[in-house]
Amino acid sequence: MAAKSRAWFCSIFIALFVVSSISSVTAGDEGESKDEPSSVLTLDASNFDEAIAKHPFIVVEFYAPWCGHCTKLAPEYEKAASLLSKHDPPIILAKVDANENVNKELASKYEVKGFPTLKIFRNEGKNVQDYKGPREADGIVEYLKKQVGPASAEIKSSEDAANVITEKKVIIVGVFPEFSGEEFENFITVAEKLRSDYDFSHVSDAKLLPRGDSLVKGPIVRLFKPFDELFVDSQEFKVEALEKFIEVASVPIVTTFNKDPANHPFVIKFFNSNNAKAMFFLNFSSEQFDAFKSKYHEVASTFKGKGISFLIGDLDASQGAFQYFGLKEDQVPLVVIQENDGKKYLKPNVEPDQISTWLKEYTEGSLKPFRKSEPIPEVNNEPVKVVVADNLHDVVNSGKNVLLEFYAPWCGHCKKLAPILDEVAVSFEKDSDVIIAKMDSTANDIPSEFNVRGYPTLYFSSASGKLMQYEGGRTAEDFINFIKENKDSTGQSQTPVQPEPTIEAKDEL
């Protein structure tokens, strides 16, 4: 559960921070002409394995027809597929409708947690990587051409180095007197494995590099980065150790989140970390910003390597996070720590000299977690009962059979389901052993035992405490039959079969 919670936590925050700063998407036409043949290969469960085995390099988009982001991507993906079909050798782009029941097992196998998800399949599917490139046609083409080329490009001149090593990206360069031997082979192995995340190059003479050093003879790995000390070297060439070096050195001591797209890759890496996440929100235009930033960076440096990652976020760009946490602007400047199990700790209206003390209290375990919750309703007499974070466990563990919906007020599927759940609740009004309930997931924290990946998500808890995610049909009859079959009025545990998690037609978070 911890790994699942961490993965979903990361996807939520990537959406809240990164997607909130770009234009919104509205569902519409697919954007491609129905009269022209598509350059995108359509796959499903019946031909997927055959296609992956046939093509040594193939990109697959897992999409849902109702997904607005998929709709926006479709014409760009089609254009890129047409251009890449002329590449030598051709680069194949494909798509799978992950909303179709026959394809849900594929989506689950490849850990598709949202739409669109793009995966790169190499070597007959033996090597599967996430696509982490642009989402417009020219960017897709440029990114994938690099992906099919050598994992590491040779730098032969200062001009080559200037073109490869930019001020906006992390670049890993291996310096080798000869392009052979164990060190070089391990470097190429790591480059092949991590090429979706980083750009790799190799050079025989370090003097060709920016900030080159005539004394550096190699073998050595130099990681260039647009933050902190600008470059860092390593002479460790064991594969695992080299991967660890790149992972640690490529993340800023303090990640900056504002509206600059150049920072977004580092924001994503921040949330993909296994560490607890300390986030400091303040107004970047305030007079105190420089003092706060300097102090926060100083504190982050002292906690480096102690299981906490640090981010500083501009108030103007972080509205999605404020909505998620239930925060208010008058609490700024404030520090939030989020753990992978969902626990949160807040320090509102913090002063610069309080940050270090508060972090020390956190590491010592003396802080009380914060929980976002609406007030417990004083009147709760509608057929479908309202549940909030502060009484969710009381309701679920009440000794009743509880069908609980996690919803969002803006979710179209939730609005469609509302009258159906009302009908179900009315049908069980005379059964004191059954409760039909709902919780606004945008206004209340969701405990980690509930794997809410989209809206609506429904769970059923029997009177004896058996908890399962509801994956059945969405008619009133479906719900009524399910509850009758699984409800437990005697307190004796039943053992209904738990289906494997699947991706349903849910509104995106």
Catalytic residues: 67, 70, 411, 414
What sign for the dihedral angle of Cα 465, 471, 477, 481? negative
Cis peptide before 252 (omega within 30 of 0): no
**Strands 401-407 and 41-43, sheet pairing:** unpaired
Distance, CA of 452 to CA of 442 (rounded, Å): 12
The H or E element containing residue 330 is none
Cα-based angle 408, 413, 414 (whole degrees, multiple of 5): 40
Nearest to 226 by CA among 142, 278, 170: 170
Tokens of 37: 């043949």
The type of residue at 63 is Y
Distance, CA of 261 to CA of 256 (rounded, Å): 11
Distance, CA of 403 to CA of 401 (rounded, Å): 7
Distance, CA of 235 to CA of 222 (rounded, Å): 9
Nearest to 361 by CA among 280, 275, 290, 303: 303
Radius of gyration, CA atoms only, the chain: 26
Phi, psi of 300 (to 5 degrees): -60, -40
Count of C-beta atoms within a 10 Å radius of residue 109: 10
Nearest to 439 by CA among 413, 404, 414: 404
257 neighbors 312 (Cβ within 8 angstroms): yes
Q: Which residues contact 468 (CB under 8 A, 6 or more apart)?
A: 459, 460, 486, 496, 498
